[in-house]
Amino acid sequence: MLATALLEALNLEVHYGGIAAVKGISFAVEEGELVCLIGANGAGKTSTLKALARMIPAQGEIHYRNARLDRLPSHDLIRHGLALVPEGRGIFARLTVTENLAMGAYHRNDKAEIALDLQHIYEMLPRLKERAAQVAGTLSGGEQQMLAIGRALMGRPQLLLLDEPSMGLAPLMVEKVFEVIRTVAAQGVTIFLVEQNARLALQTCSRGYVMESGLITLADSAANLLADPRVRTAYLGE
Amino acid sequence: MDIFLQQIINGLTTGSVYAIVALGYTMVYGVIQLINFAHGEVVMIGAMVAFTVITALVGAGLPLPPIVLVFAGVLTAVPVCMAIGYLLERVAYRPLRHAPRLAPLITAIGMSIILQHLALLIWGRDPRAFPQIMEVTSFNLGGAAISSVQIVIILLSVVMMGVLTWFVYRTRFGIAIRASAEDVRVAALMGVDANRVIAATFIIGAAMGAVAGVMYGTYYGIAHYTMGFTLGLKAFSAAVLGGIGNLAGAMLGGILLGLVEALGAGYIGDLTDLCQWPVFGGLLAERCEADGHVILLGSNYQDVFAFLVLILVLVFRPSGLLGERVAERA
């Protein structure tokens, strides 16, 4: 167990009926790191994140600071500083952009600080400000992804879990989303990023894990993974 | 007397009650996709409790003004119904939260029967008459009569709808309810406790149902342990008409259903008077001359309209007037 680990999962397992999606994996994320988990479709990446966020039942231990996440209900996690931007964004389509962002700060009571954070989000993501009063379902895919990230940031997380932020977005939009992710990381938020776009993910992160059929098969610095011939053939299309 | 205007006034009155009851169905459905069939019974218990309290106070012979009596009745009925609403969710539905959808649905019907028979045990099978505590004054409105009771029912309903809308759209917890209605799991990630939201929808719906029960009982001057069944089904039809899960839909559906029912009851007699149709004129000539009318369907058929509307909506527009999507989970 790493002394400085912010998040550490030990022997994490997820089963759907009789099928094992995650087969006992262990990994750690240190404070301030930007770590990614890459792998093909169906490797168990999203299940891993959902298990971390307590959205699905799982076996194994999840340590987060001094807390055991595996013993907490999902709705307590944000109070411990952990936020997830779910796969497919999970925005509230019938709520306005502002209401979505307000939901991100639901657990907070510091009204003045919330208003400040809202301003910061709108500065960082000006498109959202233009559409503040609009119902979120009318936003484009990229805007929805920005909204989902903005909403998570409204909770002032210390650890942000991101599930496939590039999914279904045009290349230009993907660039913008990753720019925002880098900005957020630079502000000191620890990020654990799950991504199918391995090249982009490894170019953004400092460290990475490779997941295959429910197991972590490689763990190394992003630079080493980018150079690794196995990664290059399997995930970078070379 | 202007029948049309009169039936509009009557329809708005019952429609307001339907709308308030329909909100209870639609709020719960919006969050957990459950038709709480026991909701009509909660409304009935609200009426029964209020009648009991009012009758007891009148019996005690205290010199209280009528408005205080009614108020005391409502103030007792509301917390009683809120407790029942909470218990229904906690005891009957929560253990089945992740069960196949048929299980909670059948449980809801079971709870409805249990509550109805509890009411039968407590209050007996005879209808309870609303004590004559006040003079009902009528006002003339363009040739039709509107009573003070009708005015109070309509105004009180409008106020309740306004407060609910404000709560759901303007408060933090209200927004959390709407967010949970879209995705409970994602709302949980923001720190929203699903159990609290779900319990809240039951409690709020039951509180409004209690008031609706008192209004309905006061309007007809009677309360009976079976009154929740038909009233509940009609309010459910109203919720489906507006689009189940949609708050504005429940309000609109309730008012529309009340109007359809009242106008239907007002005109069905004339429309089904066989003497006006020449085809039957010959056959029924004797009776038509003697009575002037041979009415096939009288206004006692008014209950038919609510369910006719329900069937038509389900056939032609299952998502309702304002509904966006049809629940596809079975």
Distance between CA atoms of residues A36 and B162, nearest Å: 49
> What percentage of chain A exceeds 70 in pLDDT?
98
- What is the predicted pLDDT for the residue at A212? 94
Residues of B within 8 A of A96 (CB-CB) are none
Domain architecture of chain A: domains with CATH: 33-55+75-235 (3.40.50.300)
Among B179, B186, B190, select the one facing A107 at the smallest CB separation: B190
Mean local confidence (pLDDT), A128-144: 94
Domain range B3-316, CATH class:
mainly alpha
Kindly report the backbone phi and psi dihedral angles of residue B269, in degrees, each rounded to the nearest multiple of 5, phi listed first: -60, -50
Structure tokens at B178: 């709407």
The mean pLDDT of A200-207, rounded to a whole number, is 95
Instruction: Output the pLDDT for position B328.
Output: 40
Q: How far is the alpha carbon of B312 from chain A, nearest alpha carbon, in Å?
A: 28
Q: Measured between beta carbons, which residues in chain A are less than 8 angstroms from residue B172? A: 102, 106
Residues A14-72 pLDDT 10s: 999 889 999 999 999 999 999 999 999 889 999 999 999 999 999 999 999 989 999 99
Residue B299 has pLDDT above 60, yes or no: yes
Cα separations in angstroms, A3 against A35, A190, B270: 17, 16, 87
Which residues neighbour B201 within 8 Å (Cβ) at sequence distance 6 or greater? B27, B28, B30, B31, B32, B177
Q: Which residue does chain B place closest to A109, by CA atoms?
A: B172
Q: What is the pLDDT of residues B167-204, one digit of tens each?
A: 999 999 999 999 999 999 999 999 999 999 999 999 99
pLDDT at A164 over 50: yes
Contact A75/B183, CB-based, under 8 Å?
no
Give B210's contacts (C-beta < 8 A, 6+ positions apart): B42, B43, B45, B46, B49, B50, B74, B77, B78, B80, B81, B82
Instruction: Please provide the DSSP assignment of B225-239 as one string.
Output: TTHHHHHHHHHHHHH
Question: What's the rounded mean pLDDT across residues B238-267?
Answer: 94
Look up residue B159 and give its amino acid: V
A150 near B CB under 8 A: no
Residue owning tokens 């006034």:
B9
CB B321, CB B241: distance < 8 Å: yes
Helices B247-271/B3-32 angle, 10° precision = 140
pLDDT at A214: 95
CB of B141 within 8 Å of any CB in chain A?
Answer: no
Q: What amino acid occupies position B290?
A: A
- Mean pLDDT (whole number) for B140-156: 92
Q: Does B195 touch chain A (CB under 8 A)?
A: no
Instruction: Supply the pLDDT for residue B327.
Output: 43
> Which pLDDT score is estimated for B281?
60
Judge whether B248 is closer than 8 Å to chain A, CB to CB: no
The rounded distance, in Å, linking the Cα atoms of A99 and A92 is 9
Measure the CA–CA gap between A55 and A72, rounded to whole angstroms: 11
Q: Work out the average pLDDT over A97-125.
A: 95
Structure tokens at A224: 């080493």
CB < 8 Å to B187, chain A? 92, 103
Q: What is the DSSP secondary-structure string of B81-101?
A: HHHHHHHIIIIIIGGGTTS-T
DSSP per-residue codes, A179-197: HHHHHHHHTT-EEEEEES-
Interchain contact A73–B (C-beta under 8 A): yes
Closest partner residue to B190 among A73, A94, A104, by Cβ? A104
B190 and A106 within 8 Å at the Cβ level: the answer is: yes
**Per-residue confidence band for B325, with pLDDT thresholds at 50, 70 and 90:** low
Per-residue pLDDT, B141: 87
pLDDT over threshold 80, residue B76: yes
Read off the pLDDT of residues A212-234 as tens digits, 9 standing for 90 and up: 999 999 999 999 999 999 999 98
Mean pLDDT for B86-91 is 97
Asked if A73 lies within 8 A of B188 by C-beta distance, the reply is yes
| Contacts (Cβ under 8 Å, ≥6 apart) of B247 | B23, B26, B27, B30, B164, B165, B168
Query: Number of Cβ pairs closer than 8 Å across A and B?
Result: 64
Contact criterion met (CB < 8 Å) for B179 and A95: yes
The bridge status of strand A190-195 relative to strand A34-39 is parallel
pLDDT tens, position by position, B205-217: 999 999 999 999 9
| Residue of A75, A78, A100, A161 to mutate for B, most B C-beta atoms under 10 A | A75
Please tell me the predicted confidence (pLDDT) of residue B273.
Answer: 77
Q: Place B63 in a pLDDT band, splitting at 50, 70 and 90.
A: confident
CB-based contact (8 Å) between A87 and chain B?
A: no
The A residues from 152 to 181 touching B (CB cutoff 8 Å) are: 155
B190 lies within 8 A of chain A by CB: yes
Taking alpha carbons only, the member of A160, A198, A154 closest to residue A33 is: A160
- Cβ A103–B176 below 8 Å, yes or no? yes
Give the residue extent of every domain in chain B: 3-316
Interchain proximity B190–A151, CB inside 8 Å: yes
Residue A61 near chain B (CB below 8 Å): no
What is the C-alpha to C-alpha distance for residues B73 and B67, in angstroms, rounded to an integer? 10
Residues B42-62: tens digit of each pLDDT: 999 999 999 999 999 988 888
Residue of B nearest to A79 (CA): B191
B316 CA to chain A: closest CA distance, Å? 25
Q: What is the pLDDT of residue B329?
A: 37
**φ, ψ of residue A39 in degrees (nearest 5):** 160, 165
Other CB atoms within 10 A of residue B75 CB:
12
- On chain B, the residues whose CB falls within 8 A of the CB of A86 are 186, 189
Reported ipTM exceeds the 0.95 cut? no
B184 interfaces chain A, CB cutoff of 8 Å = no
Q: Are A96 and A132 in contact (CB under 8 A)?
A: yes
Instruction: Write the residue in B175, B185, B191 that is nearest to A95 by C-beta.
Output: B175
Q: How far apart are CA B304 and CA B234, in angstroms?
A: 10
The predicted model gives B148-176 an average pLDDT of 96
Identify the residue among B31, B172, B190 best suited for mutation to test binding to A, counting A beta carbons within 10 A and taking the highest: B190
Average pLDDT value for residue range B249-254: 96
Question: For residue B176, which residues of chain A lie inside 8 Å, CB to CB?
Answer: 103, 106
Please state the separation of Cα A189 from the chain's center in Å: 11
Chain B positions touching A74 (Cβ under 8 A) are 185, 188-189
Asked if B176 is an interface residue toward chain A (Cβ–Cβ < 8 A), one would say yes
